[in-house]
Amino acid sequence: MKKIAILLACTMMLAGCTELLDEANEFTKTYTNQDLDGVYFSLLDNWRVDMNEDDTYELYFLETRECFDSNLEAEESHAESGDENEVVIDLCLYEELPMDYNPEGIQVTSVLSSQSGVPYIEIEMISNNSVFICNDGDEIDGEWVTDGEEDCAGGEDENIESEANVTFFEADMGLVYLVADGNGAIIYPEVTEFAESGLLCTVLSKTSLNDLMDTAVEMLIEHEENGGEIDYEDVSTYPSNVVDLFAPYDESFSNSIITSLVPECDALTFSQSSLLFYVWAFSLAEGNTDGDLSLYGFDVSNTGSSPSSDSNENLVYVQMSQGDDLNWAQVNLQLSVNEGAYMQCTTPQETIGNNCHLTDNGDDRWNFGESITLSEGSDDLCDGSSGCEVRVKIIDSMNGNIIYESNSVLVSN
């Protein structure tokens, strides 16, 4: 296995800052609801619980925006953006979204409970979606029907009668468990790419894995350079020094009530969860890129549209001019309007939000030579009253590195 592939896939697993595991004996500790307070880190998604003195609480979802070489760089980037939704945790910049915000199309419910005297929060996420079938068989988002812009080839989505043919459905987005003893888990629905790759469950901890994974990368590379072979689906082939790194996490997880709350995670260890994710990340990198996103090239151009006071209007085309086909799990796009702070755009697979949205050719991949359309979300970003300058930033979503940033493109009448 090439070193660069190891570095890429393991880098994709980094999430947040580092602190030492508590050496105290957790077996006899008495937990209260207040122990739920804090950030729970995983290899992909992060959650924060803000417990109040009256045992009510607020939940926040933390999405990694970008990681830096130092906390100072992260703080400087945060100050420059001025985004009130961003927070800095050690080396990384996160977008923090309160779950009572009720993002469009997403229903989040949570319950505070306890088992064996240990409090925990169970979070359920459901996506409320809709779809409309065009006459030629193409599927479009149901919210695009009668929105003032023709999305079907024949324009039938703008007929008022088409509203009756929009199909609504709910989709399970997964369960999250956050436990006062510092452990947690995310359970993925069987239809997700994670589950299809064998990742039914990933683990969470109040101690992040940044330094741990850096060390693990070095050990994995050294092991293979010395002729060792690793089957990441076979625990017995893991280098012993790598397994030892995860031992404190594994011990904490195995003694947590989380193992009884989520049978999907039965007998799962942090080392298994991390290295199985490594397999998924490596296969994603091998299947969708040449292993180095820095080799990709992109062009941004005006769509020729005339902005108005309406929302959901097209802004620019973004064409992949160099590189292999990409999966939308690999990259995310951000948009800046008139030198304002960059905002995260939703992908073709996601429900349109307030900011910006991407539309591909319908195959849920970004192919070489394909121009995707970047448009407004439910907010009117360019109202047509004057010229609108936009800039696009493309980020490696697994490690937060910027792989492309465009010059300003004028969107005007």
- Specify the higher pLDDT residue, 148 or 209: 148
| pLDDT classification of 294: cutoffs 50, 70, 90 | low
Provide the token pair at 63: 């999405």
Contact 218, 161 (CB under 8 A): no
Domain ranges in the chain are 3-102+205-287, 293-411
| pLDDT classification of 195: cutoffs 50, 70, 90 | low
- CATH placement of domain 293-411: 2.60.40
Among 82-96, 155-169, 279-293, 297-311, the least confident range:
279-293
Q: Cβ of 358: how many Cβ atoms within 10 Å?
A: 21
304-317: per-residue pLDDT in tens?
Answer: 777 888 888 889 98
**Which pLDDT score is estimated for 198?**
57
Average pLDDT, integer, range 342-370: 83
How many Cα atoms within 13 Å fall on the side-chain side of residue 206?
A: 16
**Which pLDDT score is estimated for 268?**
64
Does the structure show a pLDDT above 60 at 3?
no
235-253: per-residue pLDDT in tens?
Answer: 778 888 888 888 888 888 8
Average pLDDT, integer, range 342-367: 83
- Specify the higher pLDDT residue, 136 or 99: 136
For residues 31 and 33, what is the distance between their CA atoms, to the nearest angstrom? Answer: 7
Among 21-35, 103-117, 381-395, the least confident range:
21-35
| pLDDT classification of 111: cutoffs 50, 70, 90 | very high
Helices 240-254, 210-225: crossing angle, 10 deg rounding: 150
Q: Which residue has the tokens 């193992």?
A: 259
Average pLDDT, integer, range 286-291: 42
Q: What percent of the chain has pLDDT over 90?
A: 15
**Which pLDDT score is estimated for 5?**
35
Query: If phi over 0 gives left and psi between -120 and 50 gives alpha, with beta otherwise, what is residue 230?
Result: beta
Does the structure show a pLDDT above 70 at 293?
no
Nearest to 23 by CA among 252, 177, 297: 252
pTM over 0.85? The answer is no
**Which pLDDT score is estimated for 177?**
94
Does the structure show a pLDDT above 60 at 288?
no
Q: Which residue has the tokens 């995670």?
A: 265
Task: Work out the angle at residue 409's Cα, subtended by the Cα atoms of residues 406 and 413, and round it to the nearest 5 degrees.
Answer: 165
Three-state SS string over the chain comes to CCHHHHHHHHHCCCCCCCCCCCCCCHHHCCCCHHHHCEEEECCCCEEEEEECCCCCEEEEEEEEEEECCCHHHHHHHHHHHCCCCEEEECCEEEEEEEHHHCCCCEEEEEEEEEECCEEEEEEEEEEEEEEEECCCCCEEEHHHCCCCCCCCCCCHHHCHHHHHHCEEEEEEEEEEEEECCCEEEEECCCCCHHHHCCCCEEEEECCCCHHHHHHHHHHHHHHHHCCCCCCCCCHHHCCHHHHHHHHHHHHHHHCCCHHHHCHHHCCCCHHHHHHHHHHHHHHHHHHHCCCCHHHCEEEEEECCCCCCCCCCCEEEEEEEEECCCEECCCEEEEEEECCCCCEEEECCCCCCCCCEEEECCCCCEECCCCEEEEEECCCCCCCCCCCEEEEEEEEECCCCCEEEECCCEEECC
**Which pLDDT score is estimated for 149?**
82
Across the strands, what pairs with 170? 128
13-68: per-residue pLDDT in tens?
Answer: 333 333 334 444 444 578 999 999 999 987 667 899 999 999 999 999 887 777 77
Does the structure show a pLDDT above 80 at 289?
no
What mean pLDDT is reported for the chain?
A: 78
Does the structure show a pLDDT above 80 at 190?
no
Contact 138, 153 (CB under 8 A): yes
- Specify the higher pLDDT residue, 223 or 24: 223
325-352: per-residue pLDDT in tens?
Answer: 787 877 889 999 988 888 889 888 777 8
For residues 43 and 10, what is the distance between their CA atoms, to the nearest angstrom? Answer: 10
